[in-house]
Structure 1
Amino acid sequence: MELKDVEKCCCVIKVAGTPGRKSVSCSGVIVHPRSGSRRSKPSRQREVSGELLMLVNCVEFKQTFLGVFQETDQWRFHGDDEDAELIRDAQSLSWFAVLRAGVVVNNNTDTESTPWQSSSSLQKGCPVVACGSPFGSLCLDLFISTLSRGIVSNLAGEDNAVILTDARCLPGTEGGGLFVVEATDSVRLIGVIVSPFGWKSNEWIGLTLVCSVDVIFRSVVRSTGVRDPLRGVWGQKEEADLCMSRTAQGPEAVGHPTVSFVDSGQAWGSGVAVSARLVVTCRHVVGGKSSVTLKFHQDGRVQDVVGNVLFSTKSSSPYDLALIELRDPVPEAVIPRMSKSFHLGEAVVVVGYGGLGRVCGPSLTSGVLSKAISLNGQPVMLQTTCAVQAGASGGAVVRKQSGELLGIVSSNARDLAASVTYPHLNFIIPAPVFQRPLQEFQKTRNVDVFSVLNATERDVRRVWRLQGAQSKL
C-alpha cells in the first residue's frame, strides 16, 4: 500500500450517548473493506451504523505496560488529573474493540485488506506515519484522517507489544493507525494508537503510545479459538486472510553513537561514548560525585561499568559538561565522528535515556536543527525540535543521514510561572565546544586542558542566560 492511501484506512467512530452520559468519538483502523466503510472520495464522508463484534483484552500489552510505566514514576495517559471517567478509561488501555460496519463498499479499488506487519521486526528509528482524526467527530471535513510523520522511539515487551513514537498526535486519534514506512515509500499497518499523550511526574514527554496490531490480532484469535482473527466478518473465503508481512524493508539504519545510562545515585541521565574508555555527559548528571555507574545496552545485553569523574565544569560555566573515564573499556562502543558544520533545518535525531530511563535502553526522537548560535565564528548553542524528556541530559544529537555527533543535550525549556515543560524546545552544547580539549586530553592525559570550558566569555554566558529557567534533565 502506498503512503497516499493511508488516509483511506482510517475512520471516525462515534458512540451514542446514554442518559446522563454524552456521546464520545475516536478514530479507527479499517483492516478490510468488508469490516468497515471507506471514503470513496476525499471530499465526502459516509456515516453508517456499526456492530460491536467483540471487546478483547491484549494481555501482552497490559503486562508490558505495567512493567514499563511504573506508578512510582507518576505516569498518566489522560489529560485531566481530576476527571474520574478519564482515569477509569486509562486503566482500560489494553482493551480493543472489533466492529463491523453496516454496509459493504462496492468500489473495486477498496477490495483488498490493509497490509500489516508483525512488530517483532521493528527497530528503533524506523520511519512511521500515524493516521487519526483529531477531536474525533468534530469538524470531520477539516480533521478526518490527518497524517503525522515520526520514527519509532522505543519498543518493549514480547514481540514489541508496546511501541512509542514521536509522531505527534492529538486527542481523538486514539484507535487510529500507526504505519511503518518502507524504503519504497510503501506502508504497512504496525499498530493502533492507544494514547496521544503521556505525562511523567507532570511533565509531558511528547511521545505517542501505541499497541502492536500483531498482538491485538493474536488476542482476538485466543478469544475466538480460530486462526483468522476476523473470520465471518466478510463472506468470501478468498477474502478471509489479512495481508501480513513479517519482514521490514525500511531504509538502512544509520549507526548512532553508543549512549549509556549514567547513574550518580542522586541523579541520572545519559552519556555519549567518545572512546572505548571515555564518556561525555552533563555536570548536573554526575551531581558532584567522584564515581558513577554506567549501563550500556547493546545487542540485547546490558553491561554495567563503574566510571571515575575526571572533570566537571564549574557551576558558573554555561557549559554543563563532565568527562567520565571507565574503569573497564567498552570495546563494542560506536564512536561518533564529530561535526564541525551545522545546517538549519537539517534532520537530526536525539539518542538518550529520556522518559523510560534504563528500562528499554535509549530512546530515539527525530526533528530538525532549529537554531545554531555562533560567536566569533564558533558555535556556542544549538536548538532542536526533537522531543527531549527528563533523563536525556548528556545524550547525543546526531545528523540523521550520517550519524555524526552534533552536540550533547543540556536541557529542554520550562515555563516556571506556568509549570509547563516544552520537550520540543531544547538546548544543545555543540560538539566543537569540547572536541579540541578532548583531543588534547587524549594526547596528554592532562585534565587541565578542560579548564578552557570554565573561562568562557561574557557573550557566551549571555547566550546561555536562560539556563536557570531551563528544565534540568
Structure 2
Amino acid sequence: MLVHCVEFKKTFQALFQKADQWRFHGDEDDTLIQDADYLSWFAVLKANASHSGAVSWRRSASLRKGDPVFACGSPFGSLCSDLFNGTVSRGIISNLAGEDNTLILTDARCLPGTEGGGLFAMEDDSLHLVGVIVSPFGWKANEWIGLTLVCSVHSILRNVVQCSDLQDSLQDVWLHPAETQKFHAGQYLDVCLVDSGQQWGSGVLVTSDLILTCRHVVNGKSTVALKFHHGDRVLDSVGDVLFSTKGSSPYDVAVVRSRDSMVDVVVPQMAHEFNTGEPVLVVGYGGLGRSCGPSLTCGILSKAISHQHLTIMLQTTCAVQAGASGGAVVRASTGELLGIVSSNTRDLSSQVTYPHLNFCIPVSVLQGPLLHFSRQGDLKSFDVLNAADESVKRVWRLQGTHSKL
C-alpha cells in the first residue's frame, strides 16, 4: 500500500518556501511544489522471506537537538548491493519541526540511494528507529545545505493505521511503543538571530546583553533586530551595533548590545587551547534556524592556524549554511566557546558550495578586546581587530573580493 503522511506535508509546505528556492532532488528544475507531494508518500511492503524479530522504535517527540543518531541505508545499492547494503553514518539531530517532530533534519551524511533507510537513536546501548530518510540532499538556492531530510516513523505509522483496518492489538503495537527515557542534550551557550533587514545570521551572547556576530551580518546598520529562542518562548529585542570591523580587516566581526538584558544567559567559558581532530559543534541559525530556532551540527576541528603564537583561524567539518554566520563553535566535551563562524566554502567559478569546510574566528583573537572593553567600557578596545598585519590578511585571503573562493 501507499500511505500519505499528512503531518509531514503540512510541515514541509510551511517551512520550505518557494521564494527561498529550496529543492530536494538532483536536477536543476524548480519542482518544490511537486516535492511537497512526492516526498510525503511512503510505501508499505511485505517481504516474501520472514525475518526474526522486529525493529524497536520510539516517538520522535522525545528527540532533542543535539541527540546522537545513526542513519542506515544503501547508497548506490542498485549498482553493488553487496558492497553498500546497510551502510551506516553517524551525526546528531540538527533541527526538528511539526507536530511531534514529524520533520527531522540531521547532519548524518547520506548519499543517493539511502532514501527509505532508517534514522536510529541510541539509548541504553540499543538502537531505536525514529525516522525514515526522505532526501539525502537539499539545496537552498544554489547552496547545498549538507543536511538530510527525515520523516518521523511515528507519523508514518499513525497514517498507516488511520487508512487501514488493522486489528486493535496491532494498532497498540504500532502507535504506542514501550516507554523510554528521553535524551537530554547538553546546553551549549545562548545564540540569537541577528537581522539587519537585508542580511541575517547568528550571534553569540558573551554577557547578558553583549553579542558577538559578523560584520557582514549587521551589514553597516546601526541597529538590528534580535530574536532569542528559549525553549518554547521566543523573545524579540533590538540591538545597537557598538562596533564593526572595517572592510579592510581580515576579521569579519561586529559587537552588538541588546536593549533588553537576557536573564539566565549561559555565559560562555572561553577556550584556551585548540586541539586538531577534537569533536566540535556549531550552534547557529543555518538550516531551518530562522523558523525553528538554532540548529546544531557536529564535526571535528580540522585545522587551527597560528601566527606569532596566536591562533588566528579555525576550520571545522561541521555543516554550515547561510544564516550560521556569527554562530558559536563549541567544544563538544565541555561546551567551551572556540570561536564564531565566519563563512563556509564556495567555489565562485563553479557556483558549488561546500558546507563541511568552514572558516571561523577563534576566541583567542576576540577575548582580549572583550575583556578590555568589559573593564574600561571603551569601544577603542576593538580597534586592534582592524590593525591585523599582512601575514594575518594572507591567512584570510580567500575571503577577499578577488578570490576564487
Q: TM-score range by the shorter chain?
A: over 0.9
Aligned counterparts of 2:367 and 2:30: Cα–Cα separation in 1? 50
Aligned counterparts of 2:240 and 2:205: Cα–Cα separation in 1? 14
Q: 1:166 aligns with which of 107, 124, 131?
A: 107
1:361 aligns with 2:293: yes
Q: Deviations over 1:378-408 (max 9, x none)?
A: 1000000000000000000000111110000
**Contact persistence 2:121–2:130 (CA under 8 A):** yes
Q: Deviations over 1:2-23 (max 9, x none)?
A: xxxxxxxxxxxxxxxxxxxxxx
Query: What is the root-mean-square deviation of aligned Cα atoms in Å?
Result: 2.0
TM-score (norm 1): 0.82
SS at match of 1:244: coil
Map of 1:16-165 to 2, 5 A cutoff?
54-82=1-29, 88=34, 91-105=37-51, 110=52, 112-165=53-106
Aligned counterparts of 2:335 and 2:329: Cα–Cα separation in 1? 9
Specify the alignment match of 2:132 in structure 1. 192
Q: Deviations over 1:47-87 (max 9, x none)?
A: xxxxxxx1110011110011011111110000112498x98
Specify the alignment match of 1:436 in structure 2. 368
**Contact persistence 1:114–1:243 (CA under 8 A):** no
1:176 aligns with 2:117: yes
Shift of 1:113: 1.4
1:244 aligns with 2:185: no
Aligned counterparts of 1:286 and 1:241: Cα–Cα separation in 2? 49
Counting matched residue pairs gives: 403
Aligned counterparts of 2:235 and 2:27: Cα–Cα separation in 1? 40
Unaligned stretches of 5+ residues in structure 1 = 1-53, 232-238
Larger radius of gyration between Structure 1 and Structure 2: 1
Specify the alignment match of 1:416 in structure 2. 348
- Percent same amino acid among aligned pairs? 63
- Code of the residue aligned with 2:83 in structure 1: it is L
Unaligned stretches of 5+ residues in structure 2 = none
- Code of the residue aligned with 1:103 in structure 2: it is A
Q: Deviations over 1:295-352 (max 9, x none)?
A: 0000111000101000000000000000001111011221110101010100000000
User: For residues 400 and 67 of structure 1, do their structure 2 counterparts lie closer, same or farther at Cα, with a shift above 3 Å needed?
Assistant: same
TM-score (norm 2): 0.95
**Contact persistence 1:217–1:229 (CA under 8 A):** no
Shift of 1:245: 3.6
Aligned counterparts of 1:360 and 1:178: Cα–Cα separation in 2? 20
Aligned counterparts of 2:302 and 2:263: Cα–Cα separation in 1? 34
Aligned counterparts of 1:87 and 1:283: Cα–Cα separation in 2? 35
Q: 2:256 aligns with which of 320, 324, 339?
A: 324
Q: 2:150 aligns with which of 202, 210, 218?
A: 210
Q: 2:268 aligns with which of 316, 319, 336?
A: 336
- Code of the residue aligned with 1:247 in structure 2: it is T
